């Protein structure tokens, strides 16, 4: 039994499919025969040559557009790529362990990176990001070159990997995946959020997963208790068959809520919206009778392509979704790139801390053509549907004002072309960095609505990168500092008369529902698979009791105390399973 962290609840049984992941591709790990070693050596040399040519082109392009200093980033990576000692270590691993070159590259570069990250010398620690980026680029070159080992995910597979970046996860045959198991990651990483939106069980932070799991092994993933069984005994399989049936029954017991209104015990009806990533997610939102789409993340459309989607590409997908949800409202968020959300055709300079690098609306304003293309698609959809535009990672009023200038330019262009749009389309801001939260009264005057993004807000308030497992213990959504900031955002939005929706992961946890309502939030947007549990929690909450609960929580000194308070006051949920299975009680 391997232990990790449950990041997307559920239980699954299936066959392991081990992947090595680059920054734009995933490749299978497999055993090779001695006669294949020379072929793997040739594949490595060819991939190195392709990656070197790609880096050279990027260096030249960056030198021309930005300057020689920034271009030197890729020059340094070319030197790493040409390091003979790294090549020799990869080939030695291929020969010694009889594994394909992709798996060897993944292992060697990961080992090298970890050694640098623990070095006493700050300069060496800073090179770790470059090494990891080169390794991902090399894996991607192997995946796209001749004789590449492409990842064709078989039906019923449980994907096992070191980590899964969103840009990689989006390219997998997600319908075939029963569960995810990863060495890296935590509950609030972007891939975990994607797994929850898909309703796919996932366990992250399993250090020995790649060492102890091989492709073809039978796995049980208990993403309730956070454990993985490798080639389990039949008695354990039977026990988990029973648990899977119990969980299915639990979900079915909530189905009666679909046609009921989202109303508190004291008679207040609240909007319950859905967070979606792609057109097909809107079907799940409709099945659960969502009142609208509170957050349409558009990154998926970019991640599944090898070039930027055109205006017509984006319009087609978004128009279909808006038509399907009509007359319910749709909030389209501009593509949020940067951090761990990277695209192979949109290279960004490596950063020592991607979470603090240029991202969101700042990045889009630096690339106005990209921003204009997406705004044109959004505005065209607004001609026939109730559409709103949401700006990601807003820092202050300057961001909003600059975007409004671009919106007016786009509107003028569309008018000149005779294309229809809603001239009064609402524009909103994500509140997900402390500066935006602290300036909420001023910011609220510049926008038509606000969305509270707690995923990033928590990491910036507590200085705990949600993509870094070493800081996972410090990433605490229930920290009193976070709750006090949320309270101030709610009050600022209310005083300005602006609608405020919470669309972060906090909203999807029924344990938090009464607290959030007590803090004054009145509109929640969650993944479709979380809607019924949250609706159930709302229907069992009295607002006066929720306000008293929030008042007590705000006076506590730690996240652990707040969580204990919420557990003490949590009512029994409809269909809530009494047991999470055998693994939950094991030492």
Question: Rounded to whole angstroms, how far apart are CA atoms 36 and 6?
Answer: 38
| pLDDT of 120 above 80 | no
Q: What is the pLDDT of residue 206?
A: 92
446 has a pLDDT exceeding 60: yes
Burial of 489 (0-12, 13-18, 19+ CB in 10 A): buried
Sequence-separated contacts (24+) of 544-553 with Cβ below 8 Å = 544/266, 545/514, 545/518, 546/514, 546/515, 546/517, 546/518, 547/518, 548/518, 549/514, 549/515, 549/518, 550/483, 550/487, 550/515, 550/518, 550/519, 551/518, 553/478, 553/480, 553/483, 553/515, 553/518
Which tokens go with 253? 């017991």
Domain-embedded: residue 130: yes
**CATH code at position 133:** 1.10.274.10
**Domain-ending residue, one of 252, 280, 307:** 252
Per the domain annotation, does 341 fall within a domain?
yes
Q: What CATH number is given to the structural domain containing 337? A: 3.20.20.60
Domain count, the chain: 3
Task: Return the percentage of the chain with pLDDT > 70, whole number.
Answer: 88
CA distance 495 to 380: 33
Q: Give catalytic residue positions.
A: 190, 503
Query: Is the residue at 186 inside a domain?
Result: yes
Is 573 within the bounds of a domain? no
Which range has the top average pLDDT, 97-111, 171-185, 289-303, 393-407? 393-407
Q: What mean pLDDT is predicted for residues 389-395? A: 97
Q: What is the pLDDT of residue 577?
A: 42
Question: What's the pLDDT at 122?
Answer: 62
Is residue 575 included in any domain, yes or no?
no
pLDDT at site 195: 82
- Report the length, in residues, of the chain: 587
The DSSP secondary structure of 424-454, one letter per residue, reads: T--EEEEE-SHHHHHTHHHHHTT-SEEEE-H
Quick one: CA dihedral 270, 276, 279, 284, positive or negative? Answer: negative
φ/ψ of 427, rounded to 5, equals -120, 130
Query: How many other C-beta atoms can be found within 10 angstroms of the C-beta atom of residue 310?
Result: 12
Q: Judge if 205 and 258 occupy the same domain.
A: no
Mean of pLDDT values over 20-44: 79
**Residue 223 and residue 127 share a domain:** no
Q: Other C-beta atoms within 10 Å of 345: how many?
A: 10
In a domain, 586, yes or no: no
What span, in angstroms and rounded, lies between the C-alpha atoms of 557 and 340?
A: 32
pLDDT of residue 582: 44
- pLDDT band (50, 70, 90) for residue 124: low
CATH number for the domain spanning 231: value is 3.50.30.10
371 and 498 co-located in one domain: yes
Instruction: Tell me the pLDDT tens digit for each residue of 485-517.
Output: 999 999 999 999 999 999 989 999 999 999 999
Residue 498 lies inside a defined structural domain of this protein: yes
Are 180 and 158 a contacting pair, CB within 8 Å? yes
Q: Is the pLDDT of residue 300 over 90?
A: no
Average pLDDT, the chain: 86
Do both 56 and 111 map to the same domain? Answer: yes
At residue 280 the predicted structure's pLDDT band, cuts being 50, 70 and 90, is: confident
Give whichever of 88-97, 142-151, 293-302, 550-559 has the largest mean pLDDT: 550-559
Q: Given 97, 112, 144, which residue is the final one in a domain? A: 144
Distance, CA of 127 to CA of 454 (rounded, Å)? 31
242 phi and psi, to 5 degrees? -65, -45
Mean pLDDT of all residues in 28-40:
87
Band (574; pLDDT cuts 50, 70, 90): low
Let me know whether 301 and 160 are in one domain.
no
Residues 267 and 243 in one domain: no
Assess whether 125 and 53 both reside in one domain: yes
Q: What is the pLDDT of residue 396?
A: 95
382 and 267, same structural domain? Answer: yes
Contact 524, 502 (CB under 8 A): yes
User: Residue 381 burial (CB < 10 Å; 0-12/13-18/19+)?
Assistant: buried
Would you call 415 helix, strand, or coil by DSSP? Answer: helix
Is residue 113 pLDDT above 60, yes or no? yes
As given in the structure block, the two tokens for residue 326 are 């009509």
User: Do 326 and 409 belong together in one domain?
Assistant: yes
Residue 544: CB atoms within 10 A of its CB come to 12
Residues 92 and 181 in one domain: no
- What is the Cα–Cα distance from 69 to 67, expressed in whole angstroms? 6
Whether this prediction's pTM lies above 0.85 is answered by: no
Q: Which residues contact 361 (CB under 8 A, 6 or more apart)?
A: 334, 391, 392, 393, 394, 399, 403
pLDDT in tens, 221-230: 999 888 999 9
- Judge if 122 and 155 occupy the same domain: no
Say yes or no: 213 and 332 in one domain: no
What residues have CB less than 8 Å from 458, skipping those under 6 apart?
188, 464, 466, 475, 476, 477, 479, 482, 504
Range of the domain at 247: 2-23+151-252
Single residue among 126, 144, 162 that ends a domain in this structure: 144
577, part of any domain: no
Average pLDDT over residues 20-49: 81
């Amino acid at each position: 039994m391997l232990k990790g962290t449950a990041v997307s609840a559920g239980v699954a049984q299936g066959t392991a499919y081990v992947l090595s992941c680059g920054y734009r591709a995933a490749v299978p790990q497999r055993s090779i025969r001695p006669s294949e070693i020379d072929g793997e050596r040739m594949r490595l040399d060819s991939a190195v040559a392709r990656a070197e040519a790609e880096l050279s082109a990027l260096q030249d392009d960056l030198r021309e557009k930005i300057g020689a200093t920034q271009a030197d980033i890729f020059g340094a990576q070319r030197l790493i790529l040409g390091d003979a000692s790294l090549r020799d270590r990869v080939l030695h691993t291929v020969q010694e362990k009889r594994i394909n070159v992709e798996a060897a590259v993944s292992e060697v570069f990961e080992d090298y990176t970890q050694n640098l990250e623990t070095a006493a010398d700050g300069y060496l620690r800073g090179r770790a990001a470059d090494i990891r980026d080169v390794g991902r680029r090399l894996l991607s070159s192997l995946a796209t070159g001749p004789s590449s080992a492409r990842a064709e995910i078989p039906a019923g597979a449980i994907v096992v990997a070191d980590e899964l970046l969103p840009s990689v996860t989006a390219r997998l045959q997600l319908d075939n995946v029963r569960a995810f198991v990863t060495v890296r990651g935590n509950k609030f990483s972007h891939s975990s959020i994607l797994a929850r939106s898909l309703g796919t069980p996932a366990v992250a932070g399993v250090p020995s997963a790649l060492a102890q799991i091989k492709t073809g092994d039978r796995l049980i993933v208990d993403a309730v208790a956070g454990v993985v069984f490798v080639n389990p005994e039949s008695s354990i399989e039977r026990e988990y068959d029973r648990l899977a049936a119990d969980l299915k029954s639990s979900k079915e017991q909530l189905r009666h809520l679909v046609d009921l209104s989202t109303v508190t015990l004291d008679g207040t009806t609240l909007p319950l919206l859905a967070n979606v990533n792609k057109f097909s997610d809107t079907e799940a939102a409709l099945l659960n009778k969502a009142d609208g789409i509170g957050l349409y993340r558009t990154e998926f459309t970019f991640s599944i392509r090898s070039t930027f989607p055109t205006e017509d590409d984006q319009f087609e997908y978004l128009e279909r979704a808006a038509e399907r949800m009509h007359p319910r409202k749709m909030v389209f968020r501009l593509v949020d790139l940067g951090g761990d959300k990277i695209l192979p055709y949109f290279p960004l300079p490596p950063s020592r801390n991607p979470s603090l690098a240029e991202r969101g609306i700042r990045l889009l304003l630096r690339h106005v053509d990209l921003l204009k293309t997406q705004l044109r698609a959004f505005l065209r959809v607004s001609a026939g549907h109730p559409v709103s535009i949401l700006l990601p990672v807003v820092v202050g009023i300057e961001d909003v004002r600059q975007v409004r200038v671009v919106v007016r330019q786009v509107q003028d262009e569309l008018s000149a072309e005779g294309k229809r749009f809603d001239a009064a389309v609402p524009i909103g801001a994500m509140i997900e960095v402390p500066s935006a939260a602290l300036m909420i009264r001023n910011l609220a005057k510049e926008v038509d609505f606000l969305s509270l993004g707690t995923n990033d807000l928590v990491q910036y308030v507590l200085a705990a990168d949600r993509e870094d497992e070493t800081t996972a213990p410090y990433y605490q959504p229930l920290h009193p500092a976070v709750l006090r900031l949320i309270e101030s955002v709610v009050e600022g939005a209310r005083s300005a008369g602006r609608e405020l929706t919470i669309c972060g992961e906090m909203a999807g946890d029924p344990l938090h529902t009464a607290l959030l309502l007590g803090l004054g939030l009145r509109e929640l947007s969650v993944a479709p698979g979380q809607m019924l549990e949250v609706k159930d929690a709302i229907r069992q909450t009295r607002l006066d009791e929720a306000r008293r609960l929030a008042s007590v929580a705000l006076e506590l000194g730690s996240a652990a105390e707040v969580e204990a308070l919420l557990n003490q006051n949590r009512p029994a949920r409809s269909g809530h399973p009494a047991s999470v299975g055998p693994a939950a009680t094991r030492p």
